[in-house]
Structures are given as structure tokens and as C-alpha cells.
Amino acid sequence: MKQKKIMLNTQLKSKKLSIEDIGDGHISSSSRTPLRKDAFLMSDDAKMKKIEFHFKEIMETLGLDLKDDSLKGTPKRVAKMYVKEIFSGLDPKNKPQIALFENKYKYKQMLVEKDITFYSNCEHHFVPIMGKAHLAYIANGKVIGLSKLNRIVQYFAKRPQVQERLTMQIAKEIQNTLGTKDVAVLIDAKHLCVSSRGIKDINSATVSSFYGGKFENETTRQEFLKYIQIKTEY
């Protein structure tokens, strides 16, 4: 991964790869979200005030009249939305607290949590990514509350993202939490940076996956894929 990042920087410096190429190619240089060391020194209130100021500047630059009743509160609303909602997953203090339980019933088969709806944002254009995540693990002495799997997905989705990184972050978090390599993650999503701009393809979707431990076995992997295709009836 380090070598890939060095290569990416070299290509940029030599002008072989433009900033626009990177955005359209959905290139990611790391499985970690790129954050500065001082990312959390500023309070949420201070961040919101700063974003409010700069977003107001953007709106005025676009020629919008902020004296209009419909627009005058927009900079403040956007600032609050960025910090408290759609990018709240950047701050470690918002990471969900995960409680594990003893696997007293000795369940050793695959557990699948499918169709977890999430909303994220493309880090190249800051427009929405909308999709579903399907997760599975095979217990290694401990089990996790089902809702906590959803919370893990939402936590990592609520930040500027690349789908491949989101997939890896969710998988690694479940592996580390449960102490097992036997984890599978599949994400099926639509990117508005593809459908609402650029190529403007409204039909395409992006699928990414992670298979660890026993899920590297073809039979186990196919079992997981079969389960997520089941139509759930209520």
C-alpha cells in the first residue's frame, strides 16, 4: 500500500495522472481515511462556525442571494449536517461501543446480516453514495448484537469515502472486534458522481467485497452469496 501511494504521488508530480483522472478513476491511496494529525483539536462548534462561513462564501460566489428566506439559513444547516450527521464518522468519539457475548449456544455456523442500507459521500466530489451492505461472520467463541453490525456500517459510511476503503474498514473492524478472520463483506452501491455528473450513467452500480478466513473457501463464499439473495418476507 505504501508503494502504491509513492507511485501515485510520483505520477502526479510527473503530470501523468491529473486530479480529474483520480476523481473519475476512484483511486484510493490508503485503506485508512486520510486525516491530519490535528483533525480533532478543533471543537465541533468551532468547526461548524468555520464551515458556515466558508459555505456562505461558496453560495455568494455562485450568485445566490442569501437575504432570501429560503437560503439565509442554508450555510448553518449545511455546517451542522456536515459535522453532526453525514461526516460524523470521522470523529473517533462517535465510534459505536460494541458489547460481545459468550456464544453459549455453541452456534458455529455462518451468521449473515444482509440489506443494511447506508448513505455515504464520495471523497472526490462530495456527492452521495447510496447502497446496501451484506455482512457475515463465523463465531469464534464470541457473538455480537445484530444492531451493532448496522452501527459499524453507519460509522464508517459517515465520512468522505471510496467504496473499496469502506468495504475494508467494515471488514477489519468486525475481524478485530470478534477476534476472528472468518468475516465476509459485500457492498452494492450507486454513486451519484457517476449518475449525476461526468458520464451520467443512472443504471450502473458498483459491487465490492472482502472475504477473510473460511470465506476464502469457494464453498463457504458461495453459501454466503446464496443467503444474501434470499428474498426476506415479513
The catalytic residues are 122-125, 163, 191, 193
Q: What is the DSSP track for 84-141?
A: IIITGGGSGGGSPP--EEE-TT---SEEEEEEEEEEEEETTT--EEEEEEEEEEE-SS
Q: Which three cell numbers stand for residue 140?
A: 469464534
Question: b/e per residue, 172-209, with b = 16+ CB within 10 A?
Answer: bbbbebbebbbbbbbbbbbbbbbbeeeeeeeeeeeebb
